[in-house]
Each structure stands twice: as C-alpha cells, then as structure tokens.
Structure 1
Amino acid sequence: MITETAPGTAIRTARIPGSKSLTNRLLLLAAAAEGTSRIHAPLVGGDTVAFRDALRECGIPVDSSPLDEYWEVTGAGGGPTGRARVWCADAGTAARFLPSYTATGSGTFLVDGSSQLRARPLQALLEALRGLGADIEAGPGNGLPLLIRAEGLAGGEISVESSPSSQYLSGLLMAAPLMRDGLRVRAPGLVSRPYIDMTLALMRRYGAEVTEGGDGDLRVEPGVYTAVDTVVEPDASTASYVFAAAAVTGRTVTVPGLGTGSLQGDLRFVEILAKAGAEVRVDEAATTVTGTGRLRGGFTVDMGDVSDTFMTLAAIAPLADAPITIHGIGHTRLKESDRIAAMAQNLRACGVDTDQGTDWITVHPGTPRPARIACHHDHRVAMAFSVLGLTTPNTLTLDDPRCVAKTFPGFHGELCRLFPWYEPPVGAAESVEEHR
C-alpha cells in the first residue's frame, strides 16, 4: 500500500507478520489455562508451527482457522499428562519453554530437536528444574534430547543463571503458577530484560499474580491461568529490517500495529536509527521511519536488551560516515549461529573492515563488493544482508535464502514489493509474485 502524503513523497506500509516471541508465549499460556483461548494473527513460521505442533503432541488441542487468521487453544488447566515425544525442530523457544511446562504435568516426555538445536546450551535451565525436583535425563553436553519424568513441581526459591538466554527464565516463570508453592526466582546476569517484561505482562493478562522485589527478585504465586483472546502484534525484530531499509534508501516505511503500547522491547531499535540520522515517528497506532540520505556513525551502542536487532544495524553500518561499535551482545554467540562471528565473516567477504571481541563488534565504513553471504542457516543473517543488498543491487547473494521461513516466510517478496529494484535471491523468487 502506498499513501501519498505530499508531492514527491510516499509512505510504504509494510506487511510484517506477527511476533514470534508473543505467539509462542501465548501458545504456552493458553495451553496451561482453563478454557479456550484464541490467538489472532499469529506468526505462521517455522518456529511457531513447531511450537504449536509440539503442544499438540503433548495432548493440547490447537485448532487453526482455514487461513490461519487465528489459532484456538483448548487449555489443560495445568501441565500436560500422558506420554509424548515433543519435537522442537529448530525452535529455541520451544526447547527453552516446554521442559518447564511439561515438568509441571504428569507423565513421560521426550523433548528433542534438530542437530542445530541440540548444540544450543540448556545447562542453566536443567540446573534450575532439577533444583525444583524435576527428574530429567539430558543428552550429551547437557542439551537435547531431554527425557522428563513429570510428577509436578513443588516450586520454591531458585537462582537462574540467565546470561546465556532470558528464555530459561521466561519458561520457568510461565510454568510457576502451576507449581504447588509458586516460585521465587533470582536471575543474575540477566540479558534481554524486555523479553522478561513481555513474559510478565502476558502472564498477568492470563491471571497470574506476579510481584517484583526491590532487588529484582520475582515472586509468582500458585494459581490457575484463565483463557484470554489476544491479537498478536507485528514482530518488532522483523520490522527492524524494513525500518533499516528505509533509513539507507531514503524512503519512508510505516508498520501499523507497532506503537507506543507495544510489549516488544525490540521496537527500541528505531531509537538507534534515529541516533544514526533517520527520522522516526512512533504513535499509538504505528511506527514510521524515513531515511534522510545520510547515515551517521561514530557512536557506540549497547544492544544487549535488543540483541535480535544488532545484526540489522551491523549490516547497514558500512554505509555510515564513521565506525559503529555494538556491545553487550556476547550471548548472541550461542544463538542459531555465532552471530558476532557470522556478521564479521560476511562483512569481511564484502570488503568491509570489522573488529570483534567477546561481546562486541566494530564495523567500519566501506563500499560493499560482490560476495556470497554464508547464512549459517540463520534467518537473521539472511534478512540483515538482504537489506544491505538494497544499496548495492546485484552484488550480494545468499547461500540459504529460504532460511527466512523461520520467522518471515514471505520476506523476500515483501522486500521486493516495498523496494521494487530488490532482486530476490535464487531459490526465493517463486514466492515473490504473491507478495507484490
């Protein structure tokens, strides 16, 4: 959609799918609730479909409307029961959330996933669950597969090392009302705090009683979730790509449904674009970014709380007029790929100088040269470099363009619709026409 605002200007309205983080949290809360919940406008992508199907394997009915406008979840009023093999595919949220949920139930659950997911750490989560009395056998390196012999959890007081991922804590918190005594938890080293705030807000929406002490401790009382109907916001992490594209092409892009009341911390990415020289407007109904023809660098930014968007900034940083340093992102080395290393490797392949450390990367200005981008089966690598490719047509190719299906199956088509000169990579062209 193009809405003329003044002669020579146009606002392009982006069609961003629903938030993965919200969809998967809502699925779990609806599964645990008493009654039937409708989740409107869910993300229909690799991770959320895997999560939905995993709940079905646990005996939770999840019905889809004909065009997936909504998913209807009939909750168990607690943890699942029976025996199930719970397949998480590549979905990290499923592997971090479902062990806590299944442990509150009754039965035997084998939680497993892809080889990529088996390589991701779970030790801190396992230590927390075992500390609450869970009977769990883990795979090599304290990762998947997990055999969980569930007899419910008493709850109590624990400390959760959260520096590798905030998802451990989110999974435990969402399961906490199902524990007999509730849960009091401390989380030293917590990263991505906005995701915990999102989790708590949704838990309260479903009726959980949560309090936070002055020292940051969280207390969740035992209780019962109550079914709720919810509309999922567009994914703010995914929106970062079209916002960045606007910033570097001098165009204006609006994402409706992402406004001042958003639950997603990653919307703060637009504040960083404003620091880099873009014009940003956020109101109750939408967020709009306009490129000004210049990208400013020469700054350092802590993106620990919005780390899913750091690669978006790193990918466009070569176009800035001075280096940009991003820090606080050490935990992203344990995501779908070692994301700091993946960005440095691919930027160097494009002829762009980078420096990196344990939890930081510096990207220097440069003119990208033709290169084949190694996606490492990581959707965010593919989408970030697609944005850079807008500024240098026909110079960048992706070795795995379809990996974007994890969170945005129609990404290449939507980018082509918004920016008609975009050349979709080989292997993605078949999906472009339907998104124009």
Structure 2
Amino acid sequence: MTESSAHPALWPAPHATGAVDATVTVPGSKSVTNRALVLAALSSEPGWLRRPLRSRDTLLMAEALRAMGVGIEEGVGPDGSGEAWRVIPAGLHGPATVDVGNAGTVMRFLPPVACLADGPVHFDGDPRSYERPLHGVIDALRALGARIDDEARGALPLTVHGAGALDGGPVAIDASSSSQFVSALLLSAPRFNQGVEVRHTGRALPSMPHIRMTVDMLRAVGAQVDEPETGGEPDVWRVSPSALLGRDLTVEPDLSNAQPFLAAALVTGGRVTVPDWPLRTTQPGDALREIFTAMGGSCELTESGLTFTGSGRVHGIDVDLGEVGELTPGIAALAALADSPSTLSGVAHLRLHETDRLAALTKEINNLGGDVTETADGLVIRPRPLHGGVFQTYDDHRMATAAAVIGLAVPGVEVENIGTTAKTLPDFPDLWTGMLDADPDTVGVTPGALGTSAERPGA
C-alpha cells in the first residue's frame, strides 16, 4: 500500500502561467468563531454570531455545545445581512459525547465548559487527537476542583464528570506546548465560583496573539481580565467571576487562511486583494503583511481591505515565528522557491500540531528536490530546483495549502487529500482555481461565485 492509497484521488496543483490578479473573499476566522461560540454558550442571554466560519472545526464545536444543551440556530441575521448563528444559552447537562475530530480548540476549550455541566461529558476524536497534548488543561482543571477520568494519559479520550459548577481560583500550568491551555481556562473562568488566576510556569509561550484574542473577546462580553499586556504580572492572567453578556459579533476573515492567496501574488508577481481585512486585529495572520513584504512584495491596507502585490521574486528570510507558528508551512513553501536561504525559528511546538509539521515539511519539500533541514526549533531551507511529485498532507490543512503554493511554480505537483483543507477553509480548490482564472476586468473571485458553501444560495 502506498502512502496515498488511503486517498487515491490526487489533486493536480494548478501551475501558474502568468501573474494572478484577483479579489479573494476569505471565509471567517476559525479562531474567532470557536471562541465566540464558547463565550455565547456561557452568556446570560442569547446572542448573534454573524458571518461564522462553517468548516469541520467550527461545526464540531457547534455540535459539541448542542450536545451539552446549548441552542445554536443557523439562519439569516436579524437585519437580513447574511448568514448568522443565534446562540441560546441553556443549563449545561450530561450525559453527552463530544467528537473533537482533530480540532485543538474543541479538545482544549470544552473540558472547562464540561465542568459546568450537570453530568458526565465524554470526549473522543480522530486518532491523531490522542497524540496531541492536553495535560495542561486536565491537570489545571483537577487543581481547580474538577473530576476527570483520563486513565493517567494526559490526553484523549477522557470523561469530565461535570458537577454544575467549578470552584476555580489560582492555578499554575506549563503552557509552552500550546497557548490554547491558557485560553481554555480563561474562556470559562467568568463562570467559575472564584474566577481564575492562571500562572504560566514554563518556557516562552507560543502564539501569544491567540491569547490576546481570547482576552479581547472576553472583555467584549463584559468579563474583567487582568493580563501582562496591560501592566499585570508577567505570565499571569486573572479573570473575575461575572455574568457574560449576549452580543452581536461579526467574525473577521481568517487572515491565516488568506496566506496561500497572498503567497500566489508573491510567487507569480501578481496582485491579490482580500476584502474586509481589519485595520486592527489580534489575529496572528496580520503578521503576513510584514513577513511577505520582507520576502519581496508590497501591500496596501485600506478600509476596504488589503491588496498585496508581488515583485516577481521571492527572497529568503530569517524570522522567529514563535508568535505566529501556524504561518510556518506557507512560509516554508515560499522559502523553497526563494532566491536565497531562509531560517525559520521559534516553532518547536509545531511538532505537536495536526501533524509534526517540521518533520512533514522537511520530508515533503525534500521529496520534490528541496533542501530542508530541521533544527531544534525550526527549519533551515536552502532553495534548490524543484520537480513534480506527490505531496503528502498528513491530514493537515496547512500542509495542503503549502503544496498548492509550490505547485504554482513547479509543474507536476500532486496533493494527496486536498479535502483536508475543509478543516478551516471550505471549498479551497474552487477558491484556488477561481483566483488563477479570475478576469480582473470583471468580478474576480467573489462571494457569490466562489465563497464558502454557506455563502452560495441553496448550498
């Protein structure tokens, strides 16, 4: 059996024959959607979530909350402005079963919620989910008074025996393997009897923008949060017990998922516009503006969105990606096509993501003729002439989009399991080919033509 036989249909990555010139409407942020769902479920009144992302990870989150008693109604927002989800809080209850798939946000954000349920909540997921670290959340919840049965694995599967409440209070954790450990505790903390004081005791925290996102969203629904960013104690976050308010939230475009489209402009010397790029955001993907400019492009950000223009050359880069690790696969793909070597550092934690991303990138780029070497905390990439071949994805959506970027410049790249992009970017193949086929004098890639399934009438 070959490595691709489980997914026999290989996707021929389109090869660019000229400069792209397109407008690509990127679906909503997974990180924002799933945080918003949790906060709305814990609120004291119903709220609306506009332009939510409909992908595997977010649908898993919605179904998990429904299993615990939360009402989530899908339809059109109150002003008729497009798809929205109405979240109706209810008394959380078990018994319930939660399928986390391979979604880090679901497996880490929901055990604290389950502690507030009346009854047992069982968590299970894809085989890879068993290998992803969860000990930080499990150990912290036990220290705060929860009863959890994981047979001492520190990982899935597990059962949270909800008692309808949780004492809360101070807790120390090592979140150096995932910032989601911190976010998981903060999101439910307003409902804990004593709130929470989370103290990180390990190495430098990865993906700090995601913790800032959590804090900002908590404050937006009325929570009181003290954090290092606002003069608090270093590596300590405090959330006071309080009721959360139902809100009307519009989800920003997922800026990390905009990465392959912006990369296409860089590779082809073209131009891509992403509408509704926020002027201010906590999303890690906003760092693409600076990183991709350093790699040879230029960008213009206005109230209508971001336009990124490539120069026709890709430059190597020496960059610490510790705060924006999810961007590593796309940057590695560009680095393999660059005119000089690159060093990507600060991302040792990527070995614990959907797959071991450092090992996977090394193997797959080298299989196409590249020269990638793993380091203790990243990759060294020396550009070489690449050739076609099968690019394995390891059920990792960002591996798949990285392969598509390489395929723009390298004929004959075939992507195994392109469908894995549905984890966070539904309809990626259609968006990708639509971008390459777009006529800049007409509509480009527009929501009505190639948006997510949720954006197409009758889908």
Q: What is the TM-score of this pair, normalised by structure 2?
A: 0.87
Please say if residues 71 and 87 of structure 2, whose CA atoms lie closer than 8 Å, have aligned partners that are also in contact.
yes
CA distance in 2, matches of 1:153, 1:279: 50
Match of 1:162 among 146, 164, 175: 175
Is 1:149–2:161 an aligned residue pair? yes
Q: Which amino acid aligns with 1:127?
A: D
Is 1:70–2:89 an aligned residue pair? no
Please say if residues 413 and 434 of structure 1, whose CA atoms lie closer than 8 Å, have aligned partners that are also in contact.
no
Unaligned runs of 5+ in 1: 1-7, 422-432
Structure 1 pair 10–243 and aligned structure 2 pair: CA distance change class (3 A): closer
Please say if residues 350 and 358 of structure 2, whose CA atoms lie closer than 8 Å, have aligned partners that are also in contact.
yes
Match of 2:258 among 230, 236, 239: 239
Q: How does 1:223-302 map to 2 (within 5 A)?
A: 223-297=242-316, 299-302=317-320
Structure 1 pair 343–10 and aligned structure 2 pair: CA distance change class (3 A): closer
CA distance in 2, matches of 1:333, 1:52: 27
> CA deviation digits over 1:20-53, x for unaligned, max 9?
0000000000000011111111110110011111
Is 1:45–2:64 an aligned residue pair? no
Match of 2:437 among 398, 420, 424: 420
- 2:422 aligns with 405
- 2:218 aligns with 203
Please say if residues 343 and 379 of structure 2, whose CA atoms lie closer than 8 Å, have aligned partners that are also in contact.
yes
> CA deviation digits over 1:291-327, x for unaligned, max 9?
0011112x31000111111110101112211101100
Q: CA deviation at 1:104?
A: 2.6
CA distance in 2, matches of 1:373, 1:140: 37
CA distance in 1, matches of 2:432, 2:384: 23
Q: Which amino acid aligns with 2:344?
A: I
Q: CA deviation at 1:101?
A: 1.1
Structure 1 pair 140–389 and aligned structure 2 pair: CA distance change class (3 A): farther
Q: CA deviation at 1:149?
A: 1.1
How big is the alpha-carbon RMSD for the aligned residues of Structure 1 and Structure 2? 2.0
SS of residue matched to 1:63: strand
- 1:133 aligns with 145
- 1:30 aligns with 40
SS of residue matched to 1:290: strand
- 2:69 aligns with 59
Q: How does 1:175-190 map to 2 (within 5 A)?
A: 175-188=188-201, 189=203, 190=205
Q: How does 1:323-338 map to 2 (within 5 A)?
A: 323-338=341-356
CA distance in 1, matches of 2:35, 2:390: 36
Please say if residues 240 and 270 of structure 1, whose CA atoms lie closer than 8 Å, have aligned partners that are also in contact.
no
Range moving further from structure 2, 132-141 or 60-69: 60-69
Determine what percentage of the aligned residue pairs are the same residue: 36
Q: CA deviation at 1:81?
A: 2.4
Is 1:13–2:23 an aligned residue pair? yes
Is 1:366–2:384 an aligned residue pair? yes
CA distance in 1, matches of 2:301, 2:359: 33
Please say if residues 358 and 378 of structure 2, whose CA atoms lie closer than 8 Å, have aligned partners that are also in contact.
yes
Is 1:351–2:365 an aligned residue pair? no
- 1:3 aligns with none
Q: CA deviation at 1:102?
A: 1.1
Structure 1 outlier segments of 4+, above 4 Å? 8-11
- 1:426 aligns with none
Q: What is the TM-score of this pair, normalised by structure 1?
A: 0.91
Q: Which amino acid aligns with 2:260?
A: Y
Please say if residues 20 and 436 of structure 2, whose CA atoms lie closer than 8 Å, have aligned partners that are also in contact.
no
Please say if residues 20 and 269 of structure 2, whose CA atoms lie closer than 8 Å, have aligned partners that are also in contact.
no
CA distance in 2, matches of 1:411, 1:15: 11
Please say if residues 297 and 311 of structure 2, whose CA atoms lie closer than 8 Å, have aligned partners that are also in contact.
yes
Please say if residues 252 and 289 of structure 1, whose CA atoms lie closer than 8 Å, have aligned partners that are also in contact.
yes
CA distance in 2, matches of 1:20, 1:317: 26
Match of 1:108 among 103, 120, 130: 120
CA distance in 1, matches of 2:166, 2:450: 47
Q: Which amino acid aligns with 1:203?
A: L
Count of aligned pairs: 414
- 1:172 aligns with 185
Is 1:315–2:333 an aligned residue pair? yes
Q: CA deviation at 1:133?
A: 1.0
- 1:378 aligns with 396
Range moving further from structure 2, 230-239 or 82-91: 82-91
> CA deviation digits over 1:347-385, x for unaligned, max 9?
101101111122110111122101100110111100111
Please say if residues 261 and 284 of structure 1, whose CA atoms lie closer than 8 Å, have aligned partners that are also in contact.
no
SS of residue matched to 1:81: coil
Q: Which amino acid aligns with 1:315?
A: A
Q: Which amino acid aligns with 2:89?
A: G
- 2:443 aligns with none
Is 1:94–2:94 an aligned residue pair? no
